[in-house]
Amino acid sequence: MNLRVLRPPGALAPLSAARHLALAAIVALIGVSALPAAAQTGADNPTTVLGPGDAAMLDMREAFRKANPRQLQALMPKVQGHELEPLAAYWAMRLSLETASHDQVRRFLDRWQGTYYEDRLRNDWLLLLGSRQDWGTFLAEWPHFRMNDDKALRCHGLHARLATQGQLSGDEVADAARLWLDQRDAEEACAPLVNRLLAARQLDPQLAWQRARVGAEQNRPRVVTQAVGLLNPDWVSTANALQTQPDKYLDEKLTAVRHRTKELVTLALVRLAATDPEEAAQHMARARWRTQLTQEEKSWVWGAIGRTAAQRLMPEATDWFAKGHPADMHTEHLGWWVRAALRAGRWEQVVKAIAAMPETMRQEPTWTYWHARALTQLKTPDALAQARTHYLRIASPHSFYGQLAMEELGQAITTPPAPPALTEAEVQQARQHPGLRRALKAIAIGLRSEGVREWNYETNLHSPGGMPERELLAAAALACQKQVWDRCINTSERTPTVADHQQRFPTPHREALLRRTSGMGLDAAYVYGLIRQESRFIVDARSHVGASGLMQVMPATARWTAKKIGLTQFQPSDINERDTNIAIGTGYLKLVLDDFEGSMPLAAAAYNAGPSRARRWRAPNDGTGPVLEGAIWAENIPFSETRDYVKRVLANTTNYAALLTGQPQSLKARLGLVGPRSAAAPRENTDLP
């Protein structure tokens, strides 16, 4: 039998004897084990022995990535009967899809019926059929597509019905508009559908102008070009020009303002607002635009000005928002209006902006919580009763605003009771599930992204209600047992009515982490909360920007921290070793936490986005600023990724503290207050990378 040992992706080759001795000396200084993680315990980061066909699967993955169909076909005999043969067959079929006959595609779908890869290929085929506008074949296959999570396919489906039936219902037209407006980029699937609906006057041209405005605000010129081009291709050159020099366009406009010119002026003002809100506000103060633009156009521009100002933490933001009508603003404007009003303590504006949000947005925990907080400021019995109703609806230990709502209701955060233990039958059902077995096999041999996609499909996407709750708990338990921690956590989080916090908040590498954190006075719950968000406990995790390991440390940060904590013989490749990664990650976190005077939200923001940004968000401009509740400060973080990160890390930390100590916890206490640096604090460590 031809076997070889596979290391997890990103893992290192075995250390030389000299490097082992050097590493032993280093880790002895910092109080961690001398061996790299893979050698220390097979349970934490096991090596995998490749069996027959496994190596061929890895070679096929490379052939697929290189678009080499001949090599794929040559390797296919080696994987016949292999557990991952459906994946291999998908790779081969996917590369030939554009030239394959309908009969060839259907033979594949029949051969792998019921698997993820049947649905995956049908997704790809439907996209191809939609782009070709082969509506007859599309409509024949569309009812068999189970995943139904592709927005481009939903546009093709509506287009197919429009092309074959001649019209869409009012709800279908509204769905088409939502799908197009929700697209981040200028994708091609929805544009032809919208073009036909505009031509048939089933959609208001104002929709296209609003789409163009969003593109201008977000500096997505292709979105602007596509939207304006659907209205009139002759306007595209002007729209493109004003995106690069909106101020020049505004200064050179003719006095006569026609309809399309008004819209292009609005587009220019929106684009200027995204780069220079003060100049845009000065333009809006001119009598010319006050009289010639509609109320909707003026309100949108003020929303764009306020949004940029709020993201820059400018105190003028609330006044600029207030010059427009909230009902005419984009939902992004309204969200930032609430954030700016929270920062300024303008609770009446919080109520006003949230009231203008669509119902689905108002129901989100973020805005439900802040609406309740604003209502409590009114102090009337009706307002207090309504606030309590809001808190009760979202109160939960499972999320940031759920935990805050619990505390507003006077409830401490504790670990909820575990659900009834899984039966042996439930455990066996998960172990024998073909899709889950394939997913775990793929992950085990190094095909992580392929395995994760199939796992997610089987546990969530392929049936209307998803996998039943007890089956989800059993699947999560299987992933935990196999130490595939990211699938363990993510699957357990999907249970709608019960929560197993041992699954949702696992504590792998516990001995190493507790030894390290206790020796340096660092809260173990905080470290666990951060690692859970950073890597989901995947030892060899590697981000698209180059961060590595459990604590996702960047190479430059690793080198800097190694010097600071005394790892004199550290080499960049050492960061992939578990204990070294923990030592450097916790060392850096402690330095950041100390520099920010023990503030957990500030340190988490600095860990994610860099200390210099966290300092600016703490006290912009001249270093002065308001002292804010930690929750208000976190909600005002300009980067959506970092804002979400800080919330999740702090909510994780609170849950881990409850698990590790068995005592009730407070998220508010961990958030604390955030304001300018204390005069008594030590000087800032400006060398922090």
Could you report how far apart the first and last alpha carbons of the chain are, in Å? 50
- Give yes or no for a contact between 411 and 665, defined as CB atoms under 8 angstroms apart: no
Q: Exposure of 65 by Cβ count < 10 A (0-12 exposed, 13-18 middle, 19+ buried)?
A: exposed
Nearest to 649 by CA among 471, 390, 403, 426: 403
Nearest to 599 by CA among 534, 669, 654, 663: 669
Distance CA 306, CA 321 (A): 5
Distance CA 620, CA 146 (A): 50
Give a three-class secondary structure readout of 89-121: HHHHHHHCCCCCCHHHHHHHHHHCCCCHHHHHH
Cα→Cα distances 490→321, 342, 464, 499, Å? 38, 32, 19, 12
- Give yes or no for a contact between 105 and 97, defined as CB atoms under 8 angstroms apart: yes
Cα→Cα distances 209→252, 267, 401, 520, 562, Å? 21, 8, 35, 57, 53
| Catalytically annotated residue among 83, 118, 534, 635 | 534
- Give yes or no for a contact between 57 and 82, defined as CB atoms under 8 angstroms apart: yes
Look up 450 and say whether it is catalytic: no
Cα→Cα distances 69→79, 106, 689, Å? 15, 19, 45
Nearest to 281 by CA among 313, 252, 316, 310: 316
- Give yes or no for a contact between 160 and 190, defined as CB atoms under 8 angstroms apart: no
Distance CA 376, CA 379 (A): 5
Catalytic residues: 534
